Amino acid sequence: MAYQPKKRKMTAEINVVPYIDVMLVLLIIFMVTAPFVSQGVDVDLPQTTTAETVAEMNKDSDIPPIIVEVDKDGHLGVSIDNADMQRGLSLQEVLARVKAQMAAEPKTLVMVGGDGRTPYAHIIETLDALNQAGVGSVGLMTEPLEQ
């Protein structure tokens, strides 16, 4: 009787432990670097001594204001319902979002904030476009003057 070797079945198994290690390292890298990734632009508002706060201006209503920002390069951003500022929008996109919110809540306060280094023309263009879009009253944002 001749010796016959046992035939073994080949099994294909993937060792997932190294993949889990790599994924955890990537997760840690993304968690550490996420705070350093900034999409926004800093806007340095002009300072005044007699400005009212938004709470004082909006005391009759609990609807959060619409905030339109113009940075020093003339780029626009908008925040509706206290959401994060959406930056890099065109004037038409900002107007469309403001019109939609004003149609839903006509008593919404609209505030325009411009960087202190923004050319006056950019602010006036924004105010004029908002006026043409049907916004009757616009507040200008400032910082309280530190004394």
The pLDDT tens digits for 94-145 are: 999 989 888 888 888 888 888 878 888 888 888 888 888 888 888 878 777 6
Contact 142, 46 (CB under 8 A): yes
Q: In what side-by-side order are the strands of the sheet with 110-114?
A: 86-89, 76-79, 66-70, 110-114, 138-140
Give the 3-state secondary structure of residue 16.
coil
Contact 91, 125 (CB under 8 A): yes
pTM above 0.85, yes or no: no
Phi-psi region of 109 (alpha: psi -120 to 50; beta: other; left: phi over 0): beta
Enclosing H/E stretch for 97? helix 91-104
Rounded Cα distance, 43 and 30, in Å: 27
The pLDDT tens digits for 1-40 are: 577 777 777 777 888 899 999 999 999 999 988 877 755 5
Token reading at 110: 């609209």
CA dihedral 122, 128, 134, 140 (to 10 degrees): 60
